[in-house]
Structure 1
């Protein structure tokens, strides 16, 4: 019936504010007839009288009536008879602890009986302000924002209180004080980010009145969980030692909450062992590296700074590495690197080629920017440091190069006649590795592959062209040679026009005409003709129509030219067809529409003539023909479009009208396997057994 807090706290001398609101579902409706509050009263410790069927008690407030004399001047009704039923009592006394009840009686025009109820609130009036309640997490985590709430079940505007936080001395905490009128609570929220320094600190919330006379407080001890701090790796006796000395590693942590549960030791990022200490005898490069440790608790794992431990020894495992591809080609950059294990690192390098010292070469790398064939040989190095030196095994540097001085020669006389035997010679000066294959090309197209450097063939017209050869090992060399033509130059011949597509051409499609011929030298320009008239600005081998129109129909021919002469091709006809469109599936009784589509016309089309089975059917001014589908309409249709200049006929289109039902003595399928015989007016029915197949005759 009403919305009130379950309990409130106050103390002697303070005031009590009871927030109260009527529930909208009972007092506010959308109808024109609204309920009416006939009786409203506040009681202290109300008691129900079963004989009178009414509540009695100390009257704090009664609508349009007197109240108990002990509360004169101390009670204010803060509400109304519409939404709010709040009550405030000032200067509370200790004996005013108990149940505070709101009695309401409501009548409704649509209900005969009155609605009655009582809402109770438990109020505890204490001698002094009670300690506020602190709501805090069980534990806090370092660097994770936290909220702590200080609250008390008290709120009264005429006797305000302050809730103050004490005990957090660092950072910039945020405070948010709020008095929630609907709940009757006063709270202060502290937002802060805990640090490890806060662990074990006392955080206090103090309650005080404005006059500063009365106060109370509550305290919580902060339990802040934090990761291990100041994790360090200690090395004994030193970070730089010689082989054979014993080393001891120890991982230490200054503080953590909870305590460290696990220690781990690492070398070069790889786990050595789990444990706080490690002792071993230093052995050369096996123990040289970067060391660190990790301390872990349930909060986080913290790594120590890395320490470099150097175990000093003379160079060993020296070797020469080829830093480029294993196959070394002439003219490329070649780098030889002298690698070894040494501590301290090698400071000087001596290089040898074929057991002879390479002068002025003391660096780790021996570099050839453009290596030559005469620099091949056996190479090794000697690295040195302050402790000693070492000698590497030798490696062989073999420099490869492609075939050199490749030449293509014609072994025949310069004048070649048809039927002569042509001999070509592809000679190679030198090669490393040796030549394994010869590839022959004619007019830049691969012609043949041979293992020998000689190519022979009989001279024919088809063999005329430009020849070259390629001698291959792992590399290749290209030597072109222009063999020229076997025959004297000639004008184009066998000219003809290729049509794509070469069959049915519909308007709007792409059509390509290509002019082909035989010529020596090749044709350099082309002239196109339509209906015997030259087409200007058309000089390419192809004549292209991206969206062809009927007015582009006609006779086409081409004339290719070279430096000797020209040749004229036979004519090719292009007939652009008119399109006749119709529905694909026509049932008896449907409305059929035929569309005679014309791409272009100048002047416009003035008449359409329609034909059925090659006989004139109808003349119209529109390009559509509409008729109902019957058996008699089945046939082949075509149309002719005419203007003042000429006309053009479309191809035939077959219209097939399918049967939809039977009008005469035929079988008609009815539900439940029944069939009817005779005209539809006679409803004679005969029952048949179920059938598997039915044939429709039209």
Structure 2
């Protein structure tokens, strides 16, 4: 705004101060409906005059702003703001523009001097054109391939819309394939709580007068609406052929749009009143409405509670069960709803209802004790004892495939009868295209992959236990796969990872981020076993690791050795002939998955030691150092002992030499050496001839 006003204000120097004048921007100003506009304006007057009042009008007949607020037209109260003063600035701002605001805006000021007064109106004024805003979203709904809401903006809008819930959590991160400027939220009416609110935000869009892009002016969520039902006077109940009207009552800050749902479908009607002229039994059921308000860059949808309407058959004289035509097909792990209605002659009261599969398994019964164990906790009767017999089965398995038949028992005046719907409803269960599988890689680095089939329209992402996204993008070159480059050592013991198909919703699911049955399995543990009688593992021995962990459904397994993910995927990891390199830390993970989700829960690390075989057992460095020190001490002791004995021998030899010398000195000198030698010889022989003790 400053850049617009400065040139005008630069004219206010010198000569301008002697002229009555109002200066506006050249040409018309164009804005979109719901947007905000600022009209830059300046005014001058002769010296000595004092401005006493200012005003803005539209097409002469509506006062947009006046110094006396009581004179402002009701259509502009709370929306028009005077940005100027009583000196020279006369700029005006109008928020929340509507088509009726289009017209020519003129500024007028009144001035006084020495008791006299005068006034001036700027001519020809400022033309304002109001058109539809290219970034104001519109609401749409689809029934195929599944119930969904769409939020769309014009092709010329440079921004893209996204859906958010009441808490600001983003519900749809991407665009609808093939539809520029549209974001689709695949969600059915039953998946939204009564009184829920959804916001469509055009990310990055900012209104000219807005200081907070996340909450433009006037975007307060409308109050939760309610439904009023009316039918012909004097009728106690609705029957086939009657007409009825539903009205959506809700307060909104601006003229709203409306959306209606019947059962689990969004209806194409968009008015405040929903009229059914000639009702059929199928027109009965639950209805809900929503109030939609929008402005540039935003839109809000506030939903009502569900209102039930019952349309009775006009004749009610026929025993019958009505089911949807053709077979129903779902993926394993998904949920299925089988719509069903039944009739019977007047005067009868239904006493019991049941569903069976292929005649031999009771899926549902009024007496719960008769329900087959395979369906307990998974089958839910959505009907009543009047005419609705719909059934819902969650967590489908291949074994659930078959033909489902509804049977009801009725009584009248003490007699009873029963009816079974034939031929029944065929249910086919196949692998779900959006159920993820777990993979692992070692190159170019340790990583985990979460993959879905190529036919799945959604893409997977990794999240940790706290819901923090770990991998925002896809693996390059691998459609439908998201790779988490993480090594086993980077995951804490007992860690859990979730792979979620963004945007995928199960038919029976009320919480997109936590589908039924996706409870994280308990942290597993690793058990080690080796041949009996072995105190320790040696090279060539075999050992087995078992991954023990409770899971809510049959799991898969993943193993790691050191910092590498192993290709084995069974509960048991067997090593037949162990090498020393097979020792180290091991960990396992339990993987469970269903349509749109998968969970991986990891164990603590278990250490396995494999010792070398042979006569010489490898010694630890500490023990080896002790042996070396002992050997050195032994060598030192031997050397000290040898020196001691050698010195002692030398002393004894010296003493004997001295004694012999003394004896020689006492002998006669005339004795010859020959005689001496002969005498010694005789002494030796005399010793041999004498008997020795112990010879006998």
More helix, by proportion: 2
TM over 0.5: no
Larger radius of gyration: 1
Class of the TM-score when normalised by the shorter of the 2 chains: under 0.3
Q: Which structure carries more strand by proportion?
A: 1
TM-score, with structure 2 as normaliser: 0.25
